[in-house]
């Protein structure tokens, strides 16, 4: 089994591999950027961001020389902004310590900010053709089915087991292609819940298929629903424009800008807290708009209120921004939706 199916998978990849912008020109920096962007983000959503990011920062030296705000502006809309900050810090360390050459050994590579086992494996195998596994969710699913693994797939023990299985079959001559073949195969054929076994090139080697467990494996713990948090958002204008505030330097959406907000367990409580922060909600205090935004472990239910004009900026680090300049603001993700809603309403009114 170990000798035959990897070659069949590579043959499938040669005929069916996805045409992706980060495969057009392969080097360690481009691979690094693409893999960081692809964490918890769909491939289709990443393509345009990747192209724009590389246009702005074509080499690692360009990224290292940029400011944090410039990097986050290019990242805006992709979410999970700690990824961008880590990438930027990693680029600066690479330029300072390695003369701009991304390390070729796993220990040095994983010492860089935000570079975990998977990202290191992807860079080393794709850019440097080293036989190092790159185990992501697709690979865990594929190997769980191929080998009929009954362990809960997200445990550390299961991940180590799959990494060992991948290492055992990684072809020395095409490790990068093999890792990418597993990614494409998991995205196109060995998909969650209803795998497309009729188009699978290695179905004869799949223990899950042979045992009728292809829709059961991999074993996963049920996901906990995200915690619901109610957020009251105040649209308040001062003499110089809309009042904005900066989020704390640490935590969710760190250091990014938002309309003045308050978080609570209920919508009424959040609205009350917003009033206590010095914003006077126009009466009747009924939301102009509601919008949901789901993070990995929490869900914001946002209620947007129109507020009376105010004189003082919020104590959390405020800024007054004229309407024509709102498009340049480095928005905390969900507040970008509110800005876009405001822009749409303004156009509809004309």
- The yes-or-no verdict on residue 3 having pLDDT over 80 is no
Q: What pLDDT is recorded for position 350?
A: 58
Look up the domain containing 239 and give its range: 227-349
- The yes-or-no verdict on residue 316 having pLDDT over 60 is no
Residues 186 and 236 in one domain: no
End position of a domain, from candidates 179, 210, 241:
210
Confidence of residue 2 (pLDDT cuts 50, 70, 90): low
For residue range 197-223, what is the model confidence (pLDDT) as tens digits? 999 999 999 999 999 999 999 999 888
- The yes-or-no verdict on residue 317 having pLDDT over 90 is no
Residue at 289 is within a domain: yes
Residues 250 and 123 in one domain: no
Q: What pLDDT is recorded for position 223?
A: 84
Residues 119 and 236 in one domain: no
Distances (CA, A) of 115 to 32, 83, 102, 109, 261: 9, 10, 12, 7, 33
For residue range 18-37, what is the model confidence (pLDDT) as tens digits? 999 999 999 999 999 999 99
Burial annotation 327-344 (CB, 10 A radius, 16+ → b, else e): eebbbbbbbbbbbeebee
Express as a percent the part of the chain with pLDDT over 70: 97
Residues 13 and 157 in one domain: yes
Mean pLDDT, range 317-329, rounded to an integer: 88
Mean pLDDT, range 60-87, rounded to an integer: 94
Q: What pLDDT is recorded for position 315?
A: 61
Name the strand (E) or helix (H) holding 245: strand 241-246
Residue at 219 is within a domain: no
| Strand partners of residue 244 | 259, 319
Q: What pLDDT is recorded for position 234?
A: 96
Residues 104 and 158 in one domain: yes
Mean pLDDT, range 140-147, rounded to an integer: 97
Residue for token pair 């300072």: 96
Window from 106-110, 249-253, 309-313 with minimum mean pLDDT? 309-313
Confidence of residue 312 (pLDDT cuts 50, 70, 90): low
Residues 37 and 185 in one domain: yes
In this structure, the strands spanning 227-235 and 257-264 are antiparallel
Q: What pLDDT is recorded for position 311?
A: 75
For residue range 253-265, what is the model confidence (pLDDT) as tens digits? 988 999 999 999 9
* CATH number, position 325: 3.90.79.10
Distances (CA, A) of 338 to 19, 177, 292, 302, 344: 34, 42, 11, 10, 10
Residues 9 and 47 in one domain: yes
CA distance 233 to 247: 13
How many structural domains compose the chain? 2
Handedness of CA 169, 107, 33, 256 (dihedral sign): positive
Residue at 313 is within a domain: yes
- The set of residues, in sequence order, having a beta carbon less than 8 Å from that of 131 and lying 6+ positions away, is 125, 167, 170, 171, 172, 175
Residues 100 and 203 in one domain: yes
Residues 54 and 126 in one domain: yes
In the chain, which ranges are continuous DSSP H helix? 5-16, 28-38, 43-56, 60-65, 68-75, 82-98, 106-110, 117-122, 137-146, 156-169, 175-188, 207-210, 267-276, 333-349
* CATH number, position 122: 1.10.340.30
pTM for this predicted structure: 0.88
Is 35 annotated as catalytic? yes
- The yes-or-no verdict on residue 1 having pLDDT over 60 is no
Confidence of residue 349 (pLDDT cuts 50, 70, 90): low
Catalytic: which of 4, 15, 24, 35? Answer: 35
End position of a domain, from candidates 165, 182, 210:
210
For residue range 115-124, what is the model confidence (pLDDT) as tens digits? 999 999 999 9
Q: What pLDDT is recorded for position 284?
A: 86
- The yes-or-no verdict on residue 95 having pLDDT over 60 is yes
Residues 17 and 119 in one domain: yes
Distances (CA, A) of 244 to 306, 323, 332, 341: 14, 12, 11, 16
Residues 141 and 195 in one domain: yes
End position of a domain, from candidates 210, 243, 278:
210
Residue at 216 is within a domain: no
CA distance 314 to 259: 10
Residues 283 and 172 in one domain: no
Nearest CA to 301 out of 272, 256, 263, 244 is that of 263
């Amino acid at each position: 089994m170990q000798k035959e199916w990897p070659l069949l998978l590579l043959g499938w990849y040669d005929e069916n591999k996805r045409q992706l912008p980060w495969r057009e020109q392969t080097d360690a920096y481009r691979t690094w950027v693409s893999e960081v962007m692809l964490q918890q983000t769909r491939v289709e959503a990443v393509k345009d961001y990747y192209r724009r990011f590389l246009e702005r920062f074509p080499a690692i030296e360009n990224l290292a020389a940029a400011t944090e705000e410039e990097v986050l502006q290019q990242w805006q809309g992709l979410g999970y902004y700690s990824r961008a900050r880590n990438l930027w810090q990693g680029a600066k360390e690479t330029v300072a310590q390695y003369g701009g050459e991304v390390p070729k050994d796993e220990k040095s590579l994983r010492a860089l900010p935000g570079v975990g086992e998977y990202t290191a494996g992807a860079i080393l195998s794709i850019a440097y053709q080293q036989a190092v596994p790159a185990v992501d969710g697709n690979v865990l699913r594929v190997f769980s089915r191929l080998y009929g693994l009954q362990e809960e797939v997200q445990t550390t023990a299961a991940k180590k087991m799959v990494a060992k299985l991948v290492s055992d079959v990684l072809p020395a001559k095409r490790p990068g292609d093999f890792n990418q073949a597993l990614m494409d195969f998991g995205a196109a054929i060995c998909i969650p819940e209803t795998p497309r076994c009729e188009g699978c090139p290695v179905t004869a080697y799949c223990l899950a298929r042979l045992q009728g467990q292809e829709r059961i494996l991999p074993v996963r713990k049920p996901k906990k629903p995200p915690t619901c948090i109610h957020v009251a958002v105040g649209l308040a204008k001062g003499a110089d424009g809309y009042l904005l505030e900066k989020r704390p330097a640490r935590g969710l959406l760190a250091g990014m800008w938002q309309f003045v907000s308050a978080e609570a367990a209920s919508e009424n409580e959040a609205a009350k807290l917003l009033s206590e922060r010095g914003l006077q909600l126009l009466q009747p205090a009924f939301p102009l708009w509601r919008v949901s935004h789901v993070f990995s472990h929490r869900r914001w239910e946002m209620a947007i209120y129109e507020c009376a004009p105010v004189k003082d900026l919020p104590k959390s680090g405020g800024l007054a921004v004229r309407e024509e300049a709102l498009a340049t603001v480095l928005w905390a993700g969900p507040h970008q939706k509110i800005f876009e809603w405001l822009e749409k309403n303004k156009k509809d009114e004309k």
